[in-house]
Amino acid sequence: MINMNLIVTGASRGIGKAILLKFAAEGYNLAFCSRNINNLNALKEELFAVNKDIKLYFESCDMSNKMEVEAFAKNALAAFGHFDIVINNAGIFLPGEINNAESGDLEKMMDTNLFSAYHFTRALLPGLQQRRKGHIFNICSVASLMAYPNGSLYSITKFALLGFSKSLREEMKDKNIRVTAVLPGATYTDSWQGIDLPETRFMKASDIAETIFNAYQLSDRTDIEEIILRPQLGDI
């Protein structure tokens, strides 16, 4: 068993779950969170079915709440001691345009899509800098590059997350900590269920996980700063 530790936020389904399954198969110890403890307990069984020898730590956490974010980081560090890979994956989507969105929707998405990554990363950075080793992945979106109908507020938050990633990358260059922004297009997850399109029109969540794993395998002399992935037939 390798002694490598990964931590992922918002990880009980979709891309986050696919990441955990991939790294479990590769022998990484895993820390993760989501809001629903029942989903987390079910995921624990799936991960142990993949690899019974890995270590797991998980807890229910509302990533829009700064105190809970910082507590999760502290508890996970106490459990594992250090992390080699940090993946800021937590996010929500609320449809709407600037002129007609519900009051508070932007704030809700900023708290989850941006500030969770900001506070979580700040909580883990001292350990990464002390070890002068680590890789931070921020799960952005193609919405970080362009706005689209009924998704204006979501794009605002994802533009901001990409900006955070770029700024963090500049700050970590001389500290031997890699930073990668991952910008997936439409990926088949629970959020797309019920749409009148075939599943084959979407990317697989496992493809995003494979991409992240492969990016991490590069030597510490190379950092992939941004990864853009889209369905073969283009955006939806």
Residue 90 DSSP one-character state = -
- Output phi, psi for 33, to 5 deg: -150, 160
Active-site choice (28, 57, 118, 154): 154
Element (H, E) at 158: helix 152-172
HSE of 175 in the Cβ direction (CA atoms, 13 Å)? 19
For the record, the structure tokens of 227 come out as 């990864």
In degrees and rounded to multiples of 5, residue 68 shows phi and psi of -70, -35
For 172, phi then psi, to 5°, come to -95, -5
Nearest residue to 144 via CA among 91, 206, 210, 189: 91
Calpha distance 196→211 (Å, rounded): 27
d(CA 75, CA 29): 15
Contact predicate 33/61, CB 8 Å: yes
Residue 57 contacts residue 75 (beta carbons within 8 Å): yes
Catalytic, 118? Answer no
Q: Is 50 exposed, middle or buried (0-12, 13-18, 19+ CB in 10 A)?
A: middle
Just list the catalytic residues.
154
